[in-house]
Amino acid sequence: MDDAARSLISQTPKREPQSFSAYAPSNIALSKYWGKRDKARNLPLNSSLSISLGEWGSHTTVAPSEDGLDHVTLNGESLAADTAFARKALAFADLFRNNCPLRIDTRNTIPTAAGLASSASGFAALTRALCGSFDMELSEPEMSLIARIGSGSASRSLWHGFVRWNMGTAEDGGDSFAELLPYRWDDFRIAIVKVDTAPKSHSSRDGMNHTTKTSPLFAAWPAQAERDCRIVEDAISERDFKILGETVEANALAMHATMQAARPALSYLTAQSWQVLEQLWQARSNGLEAYATMDAGANVKLIFLQDSTDDITSVFPDATVIDPFAGQ
């Protein structure tokens, strides 16, 4: 059975590459993707829903190379072809090109100190830049389908706002792509509480595959995650922040529980992450309406509404606050 994303790329007419630049925002899942039903096509076991991070993302330019060799730069620095980033970017470009050498320049605006991964925005921006460079006429959902091959969470980074990645059921992955949801919530805020910037010991890919394979608790995850995804979307559409926050936090903790039950156990959360959670829960018992979510790393992300901003920064003075709809 063919892969829908690869077939789409090979069947779409292309011109010779030209210089093209694109931007994609990073995103944080409010209801998580954790586990694949098909590794080769990068198909998830459940749908997920995210909020974009505004100006925090990746700017990528794809251009023909002038000296016949591939060149990859990251934040202005030339990378050797065998570094992980260059290898992944060039392997992804191989899906589009017919041996033509390319220059791929990526600049991430996510502060390094925020400790957030940039693979979601990186592959989304690279997909947009490659499609533009080869002048391929593709819709955003089609680009999302393609970005998914690079990294699942990248499928959700084509847009600003709330985005849902539908898991789909087709064997070739043709219906597994994301779409922008029609909800704007101007008061919605995110805070990043940085805990640790050390490079993570396991990529999310390795972590989710290990969990899927060995965790006895994983069996309960896909159905619960699918339910959570629906509850999160309903809560957003109804502006019910309490249900939204409670579901987001429970969903993240359930995902981390599946990892802790893996054999051997996998934990991205550190003692410091738990300390932030304890502080949050204490503040919440005193009336602060904020909820936490954590990904494959130790940092804690908080969601809250604009009028809680001062309370958040007084409890977490080092937190960085993001307004995901600013400028949109």
* Distance in Å, CB of 14 to ligand DP6, minimum: 25
Q: What is the DSSP string of 34-76?
A: --EEETTTTEESS-EEEEEEEEEEEEEEEEE-SSSS-EEEETT
Mention every residue, 6+ apart, whose C-beta is less than 8 A from residue 224. 251, 254
The answer to whether residue 157 forms part of the interface with ligand DP6 (CB under 6 A) is no
* Distance in Å, CB of 187 to ligand DP6, minimum: 23
The answer to whether residue 33 forms part of the interface with ligand DP6 (CB under 6 A) is yes
Q: To 10 degrees, the CA torsion angle through 140, 144, 145, 148?
A: 170
CA atoms within 13 A on the CB side of 233: 17
The answer to whether residue 151 forms part of the interface with ligand DP6 (CB under 6 A) is yes
* Distance in Å, CB of 204 to ligand DP6, minimum: 4
Query: Which is closer to ligand DP6, CB of 204 or CB of 273?
Result: 204
Which two structure tokens, joined as six digits, stand for 322? Answer: 């993001």
Stretch that binds ligand DP6, among 136-144, 147-155, 175-183, 238-246 (CB under 6 A): 147-155
* Distance in Å, CB of 39 to ligand DP6, minimum: 8
Mention every residue, 6+ apart, whose C-beta is less than 8 A from residue 210. 202, 262, 266
Q: Which residue among 5, 8, 9, 29 contacts ligand DP6 (CB under 6 A)? A: 29
The answer to whether residue 205 forms part of the interface with ligand DP6 (CB under 6 A) is yes
The answer to whether residue 166 forms part of the interface with ligand DP6 (CB under 6 A) is no
Residue whose structure tokens are 């990294």 = 151
Positions that interact with ligand DP6 (CB under 6 A): 29, 32-34, 42, 48, 119, 151-153, 204-205, 295-296
